[in-house]
Amino acid sequence: MATYVVTGVSRGIGYAFLGLLSRDANNTIVGLVRNKPTTDKKISEDPDLKDRTNIHILEADVTDYDALKKAAADTAEITGGSLDYLIANAGLVSPLDAYDPIGLLYDSPCTNPPPRADKPKEVDETLKSLFNVNVIGNVHLYHLFLPLILKGSAKKIIVISSGLADADFTNKYDIEPGSLYSASKAAMNMITAKFSAQYKKDGVLFLSICPGMVEVGHYKDATPEQLQGVSGLMGKFLEYAPHFKGPDTPEQSAQSVKSVWENASIEKGNGGDFLSHYGNKQWL
């Protein structure tokens, strides 16, 4: 029997976690979402999930501290005051820089190729949104649920990260797109390591895990020009990982990530680690 809190379970990998973890009727899964009625409806229409009484959906936007605080209190009521696993899955991906290098966001004479537009205000707004969701919200999430984790058995806190946050990978293969998003994930990796540094002595394992490349529809609205950029990125991915055959499904990714956190431990030296879905530094 294990208890889980997973953020962002309305779709994608989060929804896959919901299905995977609730298969064991002895588990208790609390999912945090921004829109509870919509998620409740989705679950009620899912033939695999609709009859699983061990799923509990709470409404809480990770950028709303008071909502997270209430969700922690409500979770304590559901689980009896403890928690084994906290999975910080909710995240924001920016379309602003998803396809282009950072230099194309500014009208600068040193930019090659020429910029498509001058977007300093958009950069400002995007960075604030990314850090509010991907960093600040998770800092609050960690803090508010730690009292429950400390009373749990497994004592594991996982944040879903990205291989794009690896500076060595970026530098070796000149991975240009996703600068702002990557920066927010790199910042959260460090936050996770700092929490680990403080709470490792209390038996809490903190991990950042990249789920690999997962097909969740991020590129479905891309223009032909943007898809050219994606094609170039895929070429670099194949140079990095010749075995790469394309994105995993959310279900495949969720299972891989779960295997990593199950195999990791403080005793093995994993406290604060940033790992891939393979349990190492191989991102694809």
Catalytic residue positions, numbered: 181, 185
With vertex at residue 105, the alpha carbon angle to CA 99 and CA 109, rounded to the nearest 5 degrees, is 125
Residue 271 has a CB neighbour count (10 Å cut-off) of 21
Q: How far apart are CA 22 and CA 5, in angstroms?
A: 12
Residue 12 has a CB neighbour count (10 Å cut-off) of 22
Tokens of 11: 């779709």
Which are the contacts of 221, defined by CB distance < 8 A and separation ≥ 6?
Answer: none
Q: Is 70 in a helix, a strand, or coil?
A: helix
Tokens of 273: 């680690």
Residues shown for the chain = 284
Phi, psi of 183 (to 5 degrees): -65, -40
Helix intervals (H) in 132-240: 137-150, 167-173, 179-199, 224-240
